[in-house]
């Protein structure tokens, strides 16, 4: 599928744009991210994730081989399609179709809807009624002229931070240990953000099978604190 370029009529970046990106990707921004673990809750229960080292390895795989990479790709294409509602709808549909199970689909669509609602005061592009979270972030960043690379890296960092926050509560880990994991994953975040720069939508896919299985098993997990 051809890459979609951002039309010239979208305005150039302004000094305040980084403040918008920081606000939208802040843990305090009401997307409901605190309610989702992306299957991590099942991974903790089964002993796949038990400490900082196993958490770091798990999240590195999710970023490089699972949802992280796919999210960065669709975010970039949504950024480029921000002024083209038809193209943006196609990116959103494909992004939703990449969800491997019911809970993952509900996770990305729920956060996407919450993000669009919360970002309304800044003004939003024309978005589909059901929009996955990375598509919503990418479209908003593109619409407001925010640098694509910054949006991709910031999004991956925010998602990583949210999953670490879930692990701090689930394992449990101390806050300092969680921050150490976040710091250790910075090179992974930057690598995935850069590696997806020239990716097409045909490059979507992954091999983080254990993470996908965790999300599927979570649907029938007996005791649950999280929605995914």
Position 18 confidence tier, pLDDT thresholds 50, 70, 90: confident
Angle at 152 between CA 150 and CA 156, to 5 degrees: 115
Is pLDDT at 72 greater than 70 in this prediction? yes
**Domain range enclosing 104:** 49-218
- pLDDT confidence of residue 14: 62
CA pair distance 169, 129, nearest whole angstrom: 33
Residue 226 lies in a domain: no
CATH of residue 131:
1.10.4190.10
Residue 65 lies in a domain: yes
| Average pLDDT, rounded, for the chain | 93
Residue 107, CA distances (Å) to 188, 191, 206 in order: 23, 25, 18
Q: What is the pTM of this model?
A: 0.93
DSSP output for 25-85: TSTTSSS-GGG--TTHHHHHHTTS--SHHHHHHHHHHHHHHSHHHHHHHHHHHHHHTTT-H
Number of domains observed in the structure of the chain: 1
Confidence of residue 58 (pLDDT cuts 50, 70, 90): very high
Residue 223 placed within a domain: no
CB 63 within 8 A of CB 192: yes
């Amino acid at each position: 599928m051809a890459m979609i370029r951002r039309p010239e009529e979208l305005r150039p970046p302004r000094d305040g744009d980084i403040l918008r990106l920081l606000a939208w990707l802040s843990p305090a921004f009401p997307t409901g991210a605190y309610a989702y673990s992306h299957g991590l809750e099942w991974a903790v229960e089964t002993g796949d994730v038990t400490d900082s080292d196993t958490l770091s390895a798990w999240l590195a795989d999710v970023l490089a081989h699972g949802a992280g990479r796919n999210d960065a790709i669709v975010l970039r294409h949504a950024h480029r399609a921000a002024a083209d509602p038809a193209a943006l709808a196609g990116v959103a549909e494909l992004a939703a179709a990449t969800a491997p199970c019911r809970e993952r689909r509900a996770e990305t669509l729920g956060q996407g809807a919450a993000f669009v609602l919360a970002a309304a005061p800044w003004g939003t592009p024309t978005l589909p009624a059901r929009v996955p979270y990375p598509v919503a972030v990418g479209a908003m960043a593109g619409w407001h002229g925010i640098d694509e690379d910054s949006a991709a890296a910031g999004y991956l960092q925010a998602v990583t931070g949210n999953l670490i926050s879930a692990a701090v509560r689930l394992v449990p880990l101390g806050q300092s240990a969680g921050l150490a994991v976040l710091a250790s994953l910075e090179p992974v975040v930057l690598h995935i953000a850069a590696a997806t720069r020239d990716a097409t939508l045909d490059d979507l896919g992954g091999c983080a099978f254990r993470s996908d299985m965790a999300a599927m098993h979570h649907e029938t997990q007996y005791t649950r604190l999280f929605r995914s």
